Amino acid sequence: MIRHGQTDWNKQKLIQGHSNIPLNEEGKKQAKKVAKCFENKQISRIYASDLSRAYETAKEIAKAARIKSVETCEKLRERSFGDLEAKSVKVLYELVPNYATNWGAKPLYNIEALEVAQRRFIERLTEIMENSKGEKVVVVSHGAVINAFIHHVTSGEHGTGKTILHNTSITTFTYNQGKWKLEQLNDCTHII
């Protein structure tokens, strides 16, 4: 699982959520670097959020892995940050200081509830893996939903509220008999 490359909004510390922001030049370089990690990996399929920053990153990986197409899916999108999209991260922390740990709380400012974002992401990932048994797949998505998934898999030891995923970081999981296991977290060696 890979977080998308950098965008101008990442650099400016603006909240993206469902806003469709493309990769910037640095993000395109990061996508090419992470793609090299998959040149000889025998990847069967590549999935991505339907937002351009994830899709552009996935296309670079597909090219390196010699995969003909990337399957996009709305359920792999970032958590929606509602009325706070395009605002600074600082504003988010001021208005909703516990936004990353407010499990079960009534959403403010039309922000998608954590458990709703987590559930849709888990459902789609499980679907993907049930249809890809014995195969290696790549999923390119977004920081908040990947972190919510990590939180689920590690019972809160890592992920939401604890882990800062870097652009194009690689986090690896195995899926066996309906169970997820975290194998590698937030690997960024390809961009150092």
Q: Where are the domains of the chain?
A: 2-7+23-78+114-191
pLDDT at residue 99 greater than cutoff 90: no
- Say what the pLDDT of residue 102 is: 86
Tell me the per-residue pLDDT of 13-45, one tens digit each, with 9 for 90 and over. Answer: 999 999 999 999 999 999 999 999 999 999 999
Return the CATH number of 2-7+23-78+114-191, one of 1.10.490.10, 3.40.50.300, 3.30.420.40, 3.40.50.1240.
3.40.50.1240
Q: What is the mean pLDDT of residues 160-165?
A: 94
Q: Give the span between the Cα atoms of 4 and 47, in whole angstroms.
A: 12
pLDDT at residue 169 greater than cutoff 90: yes
Nearest to residue 5, comparing CAs of 157, 153, 140, 97?
Answer: 140
Q: What is the mean pLDDT of residues 84-107?
A: 92
Percent of the chain with pLDDT over 70: 100
Q: What is the mean pLDDT of residues 145-172?
A: 97
Based on the residue annotation, tell me whether 4 is a catalytic residue of this protein. yes
> What is the overall mean pLDDT for the chain?
96
Q: 106 Cβ partners below 8 Å, 6+ apart?
A: none
- Say what the pLDDT of residue 78 is: 98
pLDDT at residue 107 greater than cutoff 90: no
- Say what the pLDDT of residue 3 is: 98
Which of 4, 142, 151, 152 is catalytic? The answer is: 4
Which of 78, 85, 142, 152 is catalytic? The answer is: 78
pLDDT band at 105 (very low <50, low <70, confident <90, very high): confident
Q: Is the Cβ–Cβ distance between 78 and 18 less than 8 Å? A: yes
Based on the residue annotation, tell me whether 71 is a catalytic residue of this protein. no
pLDDT at residue 130 greater than cutoff 90: yes
Strand, coil or helix: 171:
strand
pLDDT at residue 165 greater than cutoff 90: yes
- Say what the pLDDT of residue 100 is: 86
